[in-house]
Structure 1
Amino acid sequence: MDPLGMVAEVVELESLKRWHQVPPVHHLTDYSAIGEERKHATSPFPFNPAINYKIALWAGDISLLSVDAIVHSTNESMSERNPISDRICARAGPALREEIRQEVKECRTGEIRVTQGHNLSARFVIHTVGPKYNVKYQTAAENTLHICYRNILQKACELNLSTIALCVINSVRRNFPPDEGAHIALRTVRRFLEQHGSCLDLVVFAVENIDVGIYEVLLPLYFPRSLQEEEMALWQLPVNVGGPDGEPLLPDRQIRIIDNPQHSLDGDESVDLSSQLDSSITVGEHAFSHMQGDLDQQRLLGERPQTDPIGELMIKEMQSKESVCHIPLTRLGPDERVIYFAIYLTAVKFFTDFHKFFQQLIEELDALPARLGCRDSDC
């Protein structure tokens, strides 16, 4: 019942317009006429009437939809209070909260839990927890949101469901940008229907009024209703449209290849090995030692991270030893000189790899909370 005590009407699927039946809301801009360069040579999401028939956009109360399952976005303790959660729980009756309290209890970020629909028109409620958005862990948050949608669709197929209503999982309360969340949702659903479309007859994007405009603008990019919309999407789609499943892709790290590692980037630190073998080697003047002092400049485009305590500690330790490590090679025979020099180069490589390992370890530890999906109490 609604707040006035009136029995709310159930929304039957027959009353929903499929996506191909919805006329364009916005005028199609001819970007080629204004000379703007397209972002894609060919469409990553071509016009497909069969897929469009499986999509519907509906603005309203998701708890009223007569589908096999509706999606409920909540927190890890499954106790979040928001208008959508309140409507779902109110119409489902106290049995839903009791099932959550007795059997489900909790849900980790990115995971899903399934309960009965009880008094709802939907047979099941699929609960999920969207990620908190942090610029520092942007990729992890985007990937977790993709996993939420992907897990929901996979579970629907496992339960042999044919119709499902998706709410907007990304929440402004969790600082997730609405447009970025919509891009992830739309391309994840599109890729899933391309691969497993036979197991679902209808996917309803059930959005609140605040999100209607975003989905009206972005839906034609991922589900073009005509060849004209497909062509316009070549300019409007983001450059990065995700991987085969719609998952976010990490930007490739650019690596600088140096033809001769005996020469530094400065160009004036070359070493005459023959002259040094005839006399002596001063550790710290050789190009390999110079490379150790600035690893990121050698292997990456850009400066090294501003905070790298382990790397700085290692470099200072090596530099402190350089000042006292002057070994006259005149006392060594030719074979011994070669062996010594080989050991020296091996040691430098060891410290280089050692520094790289700890730097990567720090990065992995920093990103670990977001990848695992931190709990509300921890974030």
Structure 2
Amino acid sequence: MRIKMNQEPLGVAPDIVLPQNLERWSEKSSMHNLTDYSAIGASKHDTSPFPFDPEINQKIVLWTGDISSLQVDAIVNSTNESMSDSNPVSDRIFQRAGSELKEEINLDIRECRTGEVRVTQGHALPARYIIHTVGPKYNIKYQSASENTLHTCYRNILQKSKENGIHTLAIPVVNSVKRNYPPDEGAHIGLRSVRRFLERHGSCLDTVIFVVDKLDLGIYEVLLPLYFPRSKFEEDAARWQLPSEVGGPEGEPIMPDRQIRIIDNPQHTLHADEESIDLSSQLDTSVNVGEHAFSQMQGDLDQQRLLGERTYNDPLADIMIKEIQHQER
């Protein structure tokens, strides 16, 4: 779908938020003590895979407000395959966009498969367009497929923005505890995918706003300096703190091959809930950020590294993605 950008003024509501009024990542001071890691042993990386880049940092915003109030070219809505998911972000988007959004989805789109994106008009929103995507369910059996699919969500969001001349983009957290995705692992994939895209196609986007809630804020405050260091000191510290595996040229997971056991019985049904991790029962979404373990992450962030052992283009990963999509229908 090729979108024809219009240039008319965007909305007049008093609570509209302009991206140029938001504090840029490059302007935020560090909230965490910077530690000299050189005395504790060898780093995981000889040089940081994500060097200090003031121009890229000037494009980044970390914000905890209402995504539906942003006057940007496009906002992202993380939903389900029937595009009817009920979550705080989606509910607010649909409420403010008005009934025309549901009508457009029901008449013209109807569904969105896991990892894919669909674009609708913004209707009554101050944003011109909405990019809808479906994040994966997280299952320990299909961990590699989940990671690849989450990266695909971010890649498709960014590519669709590039194709359609979108310059200001607001992205909420695509992965969700509701689908059992570990918040910190999802943040690693999202941040490095955006970083790699801006390195390769930086002229396409003027502003990328990471819109997070208070629970995810602590995670992003800790991980953003690893992928978007604001100084040479942060860049150097990231050599110890980044995971050993930081993805491929586009931020995609790169994992060594491993042998697997093929299921003998073709009638065997794979259950998406088997061996999944129920994070929603472990995380209290009402907890204060300062008291939550994620906001206190310090030292070796390799504990949050993304696990998995198959390459991005592995046919087996494609099979597992299709199985996850089948279970979600």
Residues of 2 paired with 1:217 and 1:366: CA distance? 30
Whether 2:21 is the aligned partner of 1:11: answer no
Structure of larger gyration radius: 1
1:98 to 89, 98, 103: 103
Identical residues among aligned pairs (%): 61
1:23 to 3, 7, 29: 29
Deviation at 1:37, TM superposition (A): 2.3
Residues of 1 paired with 2:198 and 2:323: CA distance? 27
1:127 to 126, 132, 137: 132
Q: 1:76, 1:375 within 8 Å by CA — same for their partners in 2?
A: no
Q: 1:109, 1:130 within 8 Å by CA — same for their partners in 2?
A: yes
Q: TM-score, normalised by structure 2?
A: 0.78
The number of residues matched between the two structures is: 269
1:200 and 1:372, CA in 2 relative to 1: closer, same or farther beyond 3 A?
farther
1:136 to 141, 145, 168: 141
Q: TM-score, normalised by structure 1?
A: 0.68
Whichever residue aligns with residue 374 of structure 1, its letter is Q
**SS of match in other structure, 1:374:** helix
Whether 2:89 is the aligned partner of 1:84: answer yes
1:104 and 1:308, CA in 2 relative to 1: closer, same or farther beyond 3 A?
closer
Residues of 2 paired with 1:364 and 1:82: CA distance? 33
Q: How does 1:236-315 map to 2 (within 5 A)?
A: 236-253=241-258
Whether 2:199 is the aligned partner of 1:194: answer yes
Residues of 1 paired with 2:252 and 2:316: CA distance? 22
Partner of 2:276: none
**Quick check: which one's helix share is greater?**
1
Residues of 1 paired with 2:241 and 2:53: CA distance? 18
Residues of 1 paired with 2:60 and 2:263: CA distance? 49
Partner of 1:177: 182
Residues of 2 paired with 1:246 and 1:62: CA distance? 25
Deviation at 1:156, TM superposition (A): 0.6
Deviation at 1:366, TM superposition (A): 8.9
Partner of 2:286: none
Partner of 1:374: 325
Residues of 1 paired with 2:256 and 2:180: CA distance? 23
Deviation at 1:32, TM superposition (A): 1.3
Partner of 1:63: 68
Whichever residue aligns with residue 37 of structure 1, its letter is A
1:364 and 1:112, CA in 2 relative to 1: closer, same or farther beyond 3 A?
closer
Whether 2:164 is the aligned partner of 1:213: answer no
1:103 and 1:137, CA in 2 relative to 1: closer, same or farther beyond 3 A?
same
Whichever residue aligns with residue 100 of structure 1, its letter is I
Q: Which gives a bigger RCO, structure 1 or 2 (Cα 8 Å, sep 6+)?
A: 2
Residues of 1 paired with 2:236 and 2:221: CA distance? 17
Give the aligned CA root-mean-square deviation in angstroms.
Answer: 2.0
Residues of 2 paired with 1:367 and 1:222: CA distance? 28
Runs (5+) with no aligned partner, structure 1: 1-6, 254-299, 311-362
Partner of 1:324: none
1:366 and 1:27, CA in 2 relative to 1: closer, same or farther beyond 3 A?
closer
Q: 2:25, 2:58 within 8 Å by CA — same for their partners in 1?
A: yes
Deviation at 1:29, TM superposition (A): 1.1
Runs (5+) with no aligned partner, structure 2: 1-12, 266-313
Deviation at 1:222, TM superposition (A): 0.2
Deviation at 1:61, TM superposition (A): 1.0
